[in-house]
């Protein structure tokens, strides 16, 4: 199988080539199929095994470097680069399978994949296709991902691929992404965690498939006794109908998500002002701690990755993932509408509705996103920034679409009138844009209902307040559904003979 499915390729620079083949003639279709096959035959494709071996070599080089303290920075960079190559992966859309006459024996059968992202706009409450960016309004047949830690080395492979496509390709759109390794103050630092443009550490929680990664989570990432990040292979892999018996692939969702940083921070400040009114009413001006808590209520983590359900201030520092919401059944530490709680309830459905935990865990997706636009936490009003969102799964409808539609967009999940996901939630077209969209936020961190004895009989004073934020501040600018073929299937594409 290809790389970047069971584990992220981990490179900091990425180019996404959005390909529309010229499929008008049998000759052009043959060349397009041979292009896909040739990516394997020429060893351009990064396999899962190659990715694993390069990761081990990279760790071995790091160990060598740590054992030689006098080595120069230049030599360090050269040694690390010698342990890895440019990552290349390819995926094909349902429209691509049909256009290349691969839609009988070779095409996967996931219903959402077969329909394509354009046909699922109403299901997901996405913007209409005519509002998408040009790269996505055209028919997309294939996506090639090229990634590396060195921009020049990456660009050389991109140029090579574009040259190979000449003569049988109508259009090659390109989206570029960069992993933003930034300190909390926005200063670039190669050793800093990856952040997205709202300022939060990204990619903290992922399903894990390799024993080494699971053991690492158990021993170095705070344990897995409360929340187990491991996942079975069928969470993300499916048998490739066009491959050999050992050929497996995965369905990928691709979405370009534009982030309005100014709008997000305006909402964050509005929430912080309400928090300040309850926390210190005599001096209700929001403090930096109030603002940080407001952002944590919206996202579910502080900017450094500290889960807000664990504590009311940042500072755990080790990007903890071993937590649940068991001790917060009423959402008084982490609101029900917080992004991380909406998208991964961590047992809430079992507690709230009695549903088996296994049912909730099978919905998890594998995120492979990277930021696009200016590398900064302070983008200007004209800067277009956001995420090139990719996720892998074995069923688009039962995983990605379920999370987006039934959880993030559902104002009544997990509790009635809990509100939309403040980050990725989208207003459902058949429901009003009114105060029922207001989220319910804790008056005080961890607060509970109280009795007001000034009334007779005493009345219950609620522990939350309602506030309708103006967001969401993430806008879908286009996308498509793809399948990552197995290596044996890609080779077979080059041998296909069309019926005359």
Supply the residues annotated as catalytic. 215
Instruction: List the one residue out of 150, 143, 24, 49 whose CA is nearest residue 90.
Output: 143
Phi-psi region of 317 (alpha: psi -120 to 50; beta: other; left: phi over 0): left
């Amino acid at each position: 199988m290809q790389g970047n499915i069971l584990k992220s390729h981990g490179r900091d620079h990425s180019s996404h080539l959005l390909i529309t083949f010229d499929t008008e003639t049998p000759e052009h279709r043959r060349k397009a199929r041979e292009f896909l096959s040739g990516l394997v035959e020429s060893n351009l494709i990064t396999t899962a095994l190659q990715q694993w071996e390069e990761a081990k070599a990279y760790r071995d080089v790091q160990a060598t470097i740590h054992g030689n303290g006098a080595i120069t920075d230049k030599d360090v960079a050269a040694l690390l680069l010698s342990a890895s190559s440019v990552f290349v992966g390819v995926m094909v859309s349902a429209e691509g399978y049909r256009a290349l006459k691969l839609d009988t024996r070779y095409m996967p059968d996931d219903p959402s994949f077969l329909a394509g992202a354009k046909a699922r706009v109403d299901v997901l409450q996405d913007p209409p296709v005519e509002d998408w960016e040009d790269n996505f309004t055209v028919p997309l047949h294939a996506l090639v991902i090229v990634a590396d830690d060195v921009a020049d080395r990456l660009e050389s492979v991109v140029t090579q691929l574009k040259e190979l496509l000449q003569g049988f390709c109508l259009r090659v759109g390109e989206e570029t992404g960069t992993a933003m390794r930034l300190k909390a103050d926005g200063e670039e630092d190669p050793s800093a965690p990856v952040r997205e443009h709202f300022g939060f550490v990204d990619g903290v929680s992922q399903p894990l498939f390799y024993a080494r990664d699971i053991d690492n989570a158990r021993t170095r990432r705070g344990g897995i006794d409360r929340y187990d990040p491991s996942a079975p292979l069928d969470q993300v892999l499916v048998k490739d109908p066009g491959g050999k018996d050992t050929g497996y692939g995965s369905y990928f969702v691709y979405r370009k998500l534009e982030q309005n940083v100014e709008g997000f921070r305006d909402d964050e400040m509005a929430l912080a002002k309400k928090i300040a009114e309850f926390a210190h009413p005599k001096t209700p001006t929001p403090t930096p701690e109030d603002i940080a808590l407001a952002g944590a209520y919206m996202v579910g983590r502080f900017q450094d990755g500290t889960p807000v359900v664990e504590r009311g201030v940042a500072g755990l520092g080790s990007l903890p993932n071993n937590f649940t919401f068991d001790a917060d059944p009423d959402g008084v530490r982490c609101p029900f509408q917080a992004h991380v709680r909406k998208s991964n309830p961590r047992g809430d459905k079992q507690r709230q509705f009695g549903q088996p935990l296994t049912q909730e865990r099978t919905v998890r997706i594998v995120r492979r996103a990277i930021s696009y636009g200016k590398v900064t936490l302070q983008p200007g009003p004209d800067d277009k920034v956001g995420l090139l969102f990719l996720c892998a799964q074995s069923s688009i409808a039962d995983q990605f679409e379920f999370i987006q539609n039934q959880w993030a967009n559902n104002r009544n999940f997990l509790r009635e009138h809990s509100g939309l996901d403040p980050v990725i939630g989208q207003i459902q077209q058949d429901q009003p844009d009114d105060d029922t969209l207001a989220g319910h936020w804790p008056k005080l961190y961890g607060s509970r209902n109280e009795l007001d004895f000034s009334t007779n009989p005493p009345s219950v004073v609620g522990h939350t307040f309602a506030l309708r934020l103006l967001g969401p501040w993430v806008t879908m600018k286009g996308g498509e559904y793809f399948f990552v073929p197995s290596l044996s299937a890609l080779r077979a594409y080059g041998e296909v003979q069309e019926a005359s």
